[in-house]
Structure 1
Amino acid sequence: MAGTDTLISVDEARTQLMKAARVLPGTETTPLDDAVERILAESPVSAVQVPPANNSAVDGYALRAADAGAGTLPVSQRVPAGQAPEPLATGTAARIFTGAAIPEGADTVVMQENTEPEGERVRLLQSPGVGQNIRPAGQDIDTGDTLINAGTRLDPWHLGLLASAGLPAITTFRPLRVAIISSGDELIPPGQPLAPGQIHNSNQPMLTALVRAAGWEPVPFHTMADTLEATRDTLAQATEQADAIITTGGVSVGEEDHIRDAIRALGELDLWRMAIKPGKPLAFGHINETPVLGLPGNPAAVLVTFLVLGRPFLRACQGEDGELMPRPCTMPAGFSVERPQSRREFQRVRCRSIEGRTWLESAPTQSSGVLSSACWSHGLAIIPEHQTLEVGDPVSFLPFSELLHG
């Protein structure tokens, strides 16, 4: 663990978190209709070809390319989709429709726009090539192909592919159960009157929504009292109900901050204090193999640290592979940073079009306690540590849409 006066970089913190990530939940069988956004736990292998037979890509006439020189051919059969055709009689054509199986002996399809019906015959207006307008068996999927790799977050098109191979259900990881615990005697649930010195708890509903948006199951707890005993008891209880724990507040160095000491007393503290703005106080450790991520108390800092560090870490714990943090795009800054910071700053910004060009406009206040600036913004601009910024300089931008769904 870093010393109490040492701030580790965002990159180092992310590296340590990802190294510590372990797949936490068990698996379950999930019907395709319920599997979107779930994480695939096993790599299914296809037992069939898709398509299962050569089929027509167009409405037209199936024939032997060698017979096309006759100019007109008798139509020997009609082949709609879903019916098995007869072998093609030599020197004839079969009327065929999109998706229908190619008759044995046919090696090409002429689309109907390039033909003229003449009673029970068809005139060919184009000399076809072998294989024209035919989708070969197994073009999409061959027998024995791995359909999708384990660790993939399933999108709707993944489910369509699995269905095309005849799979009604797949094995996925059970959604993570994430305990969300607020710390602070001053915090009161929304809807209850405030006494002097009290504030409404905005972190609990925000984190609950962020956890649900990721496809996980939030496990809410009552606000912890600002005592070491209450903090220890609540954390110990959470390890019995959840796969992972997120706390807010109580991770700084004040006399009423007990998260660090409670984690140390019950388990192991792996990480504390990070060179990020907003959100310097941050704790990470384990209690009985359950990871605990202690976020700051100020709501804007909670939002930033969860999106930048907590969400990618929990995605790995869910069993997801691949890029777990979206790659930022580059846009011109419509603001300046005159004094370099020792911490990497994630400014809340919005996109604004000026004279046909889109710029990033910085929120009027970047205070870690001001959540309204996130509602005003479209995402986060990344200001690297020890750097200044002038208007027009390129800056890395992470849209909220990508941070939430990417």
Structure 2
Amino acid sequence: MTELDFQGKTRFDRRAVRVDEAQRRLLEAVRPLAAEPVPLWRCVGRYPAEHSYATADWPPFARSGLDGYAVQAADIAQATPERPALLRVIDTIAAGQVSTAIVEPGTAVRIMTGAAVPEGADAVVMLEQTANAPAAGPGETASVLVKQPVASGRNIASRGEEFSCGSGIARPGERLRPGHIALLGTFGYAELSVVRRPRVAIFATGTELLSIEAPLEPGRIRDSNSSMVAALVKDAGCEPLPYGRLTDDPEMIVSALTAAFREADAVVTTGGVSVGDYDIMAGLLRQLKTASASGGAAGEIGQGATAAIGPVTDRAAGSGGTAPVKAAAYEEPPVAADLSGSLLFDKVAMRPGSPTSAALVNGKPLFALSGNPGACYVGFELFARPTLLRMQGCGDPLPRTVTAELAGPVTKGSPHDRYVRAKLFEQGGRLYVDPLAFGQSSMMASLPWANALVRISAGREGAEAGMAVQAIVLP
């Protein structure tokens, strides 16, 4: 195991993979987590771990679709408002009741919505198409006047019309919506076996970072990435575990990662993935890359002596103090860490966020995203969200892509495909996508209004307004 090489040439030896290839590697590296029983009402947005089936025919009996009268259609076939059909009312049925009366020619049963249709009736005429008729005399049964004909079978939901017993209701890979919850409740599922939600540890690296509540200092910025990523993790249906801020200290980061991988199902870090002298995450990932290349599919992450300045909030340590100032010194031999795995990629052919990296560590995904907020956001949507959805059991985790007309030009070219934050909208029956201002990787101003990422193919010229482009629809 070699110590972290911050100055060596290996930091530039990074071969870019295409976005779709990076996504493929991630999705092939993970599997859905274990199943857990969850009360039905809490299952919306989750993914079932097994198939669910109708436990009975639905409806389980022929039922009325509205308030009115159960009749024999032949009795009212010639009915008109001027010459209504006169029928004798023999019973009244509320929802939840079953009548013992049998509808014979010349008779009708008053019925409410959802009630079981009595034997002998083959249609229900709505209340608005009837009128009460007075009884013929004392002790006589009331009658009803029907003013419109109704075809046989009208306004009756027959048994098994929607589902036959054993029909499929929900299947693995399918996101449960409120409509699924209604169906599953109908068929007696008080709880459901669903895939567990991933717990995702979140770190922001960089000595320059301050806590959100801290006043600004010269040369330092507040850590907005941690909260943004936590919100994205929550939005993806997972449980965020904010581990806070870590200074540019390899030993500290390895220790924190070790603790995080014990508690979490995945880890997201922001910052430290470029080729700078203090890009710690890039150095750690290079160790995986080097160890994997020399010793098989899995390597170990070691740690050397540290150079850390400034405050750090460490979930594992539970402290938020100020780390002592240390001189930069990387000569000490590495110390073995309880982390092993393989690098999936350490560069992607895209802008922004080409240094975005990913690895499988202790069998769990590590997403090393850019520290620039815009690039961090794009990296999460392209790589972390689909992977986390797959871990939840989603059968189609990749983001939806649509073709739209570019509403404004993208003047800047790029050696790689560019993913530009944009506003997707429909106008006059056509779909447009409008690139937003402040789209550089370090800029945040456009983030709240972006509902799409428009992909601009690599080239010197960018793209002109009016071109047909591919847009990734954001949640």
The answer to whether the superposition gives a TM-score over 0.5 is: yes
> Larger Cα Rg: Structure 1 or Structure 2?
2
Q: Measure how far apart 1:140 and its partner are.
A: 2.3
2:195 maps to which residue?
173
The DSSP-based 3-state class of the residue aligned with 2:389 is helix
Of 214, 217, 222, which aligns to 2:239?
A: 217
TM-score, normalised via structure 1 length: 0.90
1:156 and 1:321 map into 2 onto residues whose CA distance is: 18
Q: Which amino acid aligns with 1:199?
A: I
Distance 1:388 1:256, change over 3 A: closer
Of 64, 72, 97, which aligns to 1:64?
A: 72
Alignment of 1:131-146 (within 5 A): 131-146=153-168
1:389 and 1:315 map into 2 onto residues whose CA distance is: 32
Q: Measure how far apart 1:94 and its partner are.
A: 0.9
Percent identical among aligned pairs is 35
Q: Measure how far apart 1:103 and its partner are.
A: 0.4
2:389 and 2:130 map into 1 onto residues whose CA distance is: 56
1:352 and 1:96 map into 2 onto residues whose CA distance is: 48
Distance 1:15 1:56, change over 3 A: same
Q: Which amino acid aligns with 1:86?
A: T
Q: Measure how far apart 1:107 and its partner are.
A: 1.5
**Contact between 1:185 and 1:225, CA under 8 Å: does it hold in 2?**
yes
The DSSP-based 3-state class of the residue aligned with 2:465 is coil
Q: Which amino acid aligns with 1:380?
A: L
1:90 maps to which residue?
104
**Contact between 1:4 and 1:273, CA under 8 Å: does it hold in 2?**
no
Q: Measure how far apart 1:354 and its partner are.
A: 9.6
CA-to-partner distance for each residue in 1:250-293, whole Å, 9 max, x for gaps?
22222312324434123211211001111000111111111111
Q: Which amino acid aligns with 1:108?
A: A
2:36 maps to which residue?
28
Of 48, 70, 77, which aligns to 1:40?
A: 48
The DSSP-based 3-state class of the residue aligned with 1:192 is coil
Alignment of 1:232-381 (within 5 A): 232-263=254-285, 264=288, 265=301, 266-337=340-411, 339=413, 341-350=414-423, 360-381=433-454
TM-score, normalised via structure 2 length: 0.77
The DSSP-based 3-state class of the residue aligned with 1:206 is helix
Q: Measure how far apart 1:325 and its partner are.
A: 1.2
Q: Measure how far apart 1:356 and its partner are.
A: 11
The DSSP-based 3-state class of the residue aligned with 2:151 is coil
1:130 maps to which residue?
152
1:395 maps to which residue?
469
Query: What is the RMSD computed on CA atoms of the aligned residues?
Result: 2.5
The DSSP-based 3-state class of the residue aligned with 1:267 is strand
* Structure 1: gaps spanning 5 or more residues: none
* Deviation larger for 135-144 or 270-279: 135-144
2:19 maps to which residue?
10
**Contact between 2:399 and 2:472, CA under 8 Å: does it hold in 1?**
no
Distance 1:338 1:324, change over 3 A: closer
Distance 1:361 1:194, change over 3 A: same
The DSSP-based 3-state class of the residue aligned with 2:263 is coil
**Contact between 2:93 and 2:112, CA under 8 Å: does it hold in 1?**
yes
Number of aligned positions between the proteins: 397
Distance 1:328 1:205, change over 3 A: same
2:77 and 2:223 map into 1 onto residues whose CA distance is: 81
1:225 and 1:324 map into 2 onto residues whose CA distance is: 33
2:266 and 2:57 map into 1 onto residues whose CA distance is: 41
